[in-house]
Amino acid sequence: MKLFYRKVGQGQPLFILHGLFGQSDNWNSLARQFAEAGYEVYTVDLRNHGLSPHSETWNYQVMSDDILELMNDLNLENVFLLGHSMGGKVAMQFAIQNPERLQKLIVVDISPKYYPPHHGDVLKALNAVDFNVVKSRKEAETVLSEYIKDYGTKQFLLKNIYWKENGELDWRFNLEVISQKIETVGEETPESSVCITPALFIRGELSNYILDQDLLHIKSIFPFSNLETISKSGHWVHAEQPQDFFKTVVKFLES
C-alpha cells in the first residue's frame, strides 16, 4: 500500500509512526525540531488513518510491510524508526523482520506484550457520531462529550474530522474496520527472533503501558535496549512533555 507521508529536513532519515486514531500531522511540531537538529523526518499515516488508503486488511504484518514498501520507494537504508503506541508495535514488528534496514529503534509507551481491548468507550463515542445528523465539529464534540470527559482525548479525536467531496463530514480513520478489528491493536509482538538493533523504550511516569515486570520480556526480544521514564507524563508522553521527550530521543540517536 502506498502510504501518505510528510517530509521535513535533511540528514539521517527518521521515520515517525503515530498511534491508534492518530495521524502524521500530530507530530508536526516535533518533526520540525528533529529537522532543525539535522534529521530528514518522515511522519507517516499508517493504513486506515490520516490521508493513507483504507483497507479491510489491518494487522501488524501488513502495516510493517507498508513501511518496508515506503522505504523501498524512497530508496532509504539505515533508517531511525520511532513509533508511539500502535505505531510502536508496528516499529517492533518491522525491526524484528527487517533489522538490516534500521540503525536504531525508538518505541514510545508500549511493550511487545499482549494488551486486552480497552478502547470500548472511545469506540462507542465515535460510532455514536452520525454524520447524517451531525453537521459541524461542535455538534460532534457534543456527542463525544456524552461518552468521553477528558478534553484532550476529545480534541485529539476531533482533529480527524474532515469535509468529504459531497459536503458531508466524516472521520479520516477507517472507523468500521477499526471497530471490527480492535483486538488487533493489542496483539503481542511475535518472538520469532531476537532483534539486535539498538533500541530505546520510552514510557510516561504516569502511564501503565510499560510496567517494571515487562522489562525481562522486552530484553528477551530486544537485548540491546534501554528504558527511559519521562516524569510528569502519561501515555501521550511526546505531547505532554515534548522537550524532555525530544532531548531523550536525540541523546539516544546521537549516542
Q: Does 97 share its domain with 206?
A: yes
Nearest residue to 107 via CA among 213, 231, 224: 224
Same domain for 173 and 219, yes or no, is no
Quick one: 22 and 92 in the same domain? yes
Give the closest residue to 142 by CA, choosing from 150, 132, 134.
134
- What is the number of domains present in the chain? 2
Q: Are residues 38 and 106 in the same domain?
A: yes
pLDDT value at position 54? 98
Contact at 8 Å (CB) between 143 and 134?
yes
Residue 165's pLDDT is 81
Domain check: are 191 and 132 in the same one?
no
Q: Do 109 and 227 fall into the same domain?
A: yes
Please tell me the distance from the alpha carbon of residue 115 to that of residue 183, in angstroms, as a whole number. 9
Q: Helix H segments across the chain?
A: 28-36, 60-73, 86-97, 120-128, 137-145, 151-158, 175-180, 215-221, 237-240, 242-254
If asked whether residues 23 and 102 sit together in one domain, one would say: yes
Out of 136, 161, 180, a domain closes at: 180
Residues 80 and 140 in one domain: no
Among 77, 66, 62, 75, CA closest to 44: 66
**How remote is the C-alpha of 25 from its chain's centroid?**
12
Residue 229: CATH number of its domain: 3.40.50.1820
Average per-residue pLDDT for the chain: 97
Residue 191 has pLDDT above 90, yes or no: no
Percentage of the chain lying above the pLDDT 90 cut: 97
Domain closes at, from 156, 180, 204: 180
Q: Which domain holds residue 127?
A: 120-180
**Are 108 and 134 within one domain?**
no
Per-residue model confidence as pLDDT tens digits over 24-38: 999 999 999 999 999
pLDDT computed for residue 193 by the predictor: 79
For residue 206, name the pLDDT band (cuts at 50, 70, 90).
very high
Tell me, what's the pLDDT at 82? 99
DSSP 26-39: GGHHHHHHHHHTTE
Helix, strand, or coil here: 170?
strand
Per-residue pLDDT reduced to its tens digit, 82-112: 999 999 999 999 999 999 999 999 999 999 9
For residues 45 and 136, membership in a common domain is answered with no
82 and 40 in one domain?
A: yes
Of the candidates 180, 197, 231, which is a domain's last residue?
180
pLDDT tens digits along 110-145: 999 999 999 999 999 999 999 999 999 999 999 999
Same domain, 82 and 11: yes
Residues annotated as catalytic are 85, 176, 235
Rounded Cα–Cα distance for residues 67 and 93 (Å): 11
Measure the CA–CA gap between 90 and 229, rounded to whole angstroms. 21
Distances (CA, A) of 34 to 41, 98, 227: 7, 24, 21
Tell me the three cell numbers of residue 27: 507530530
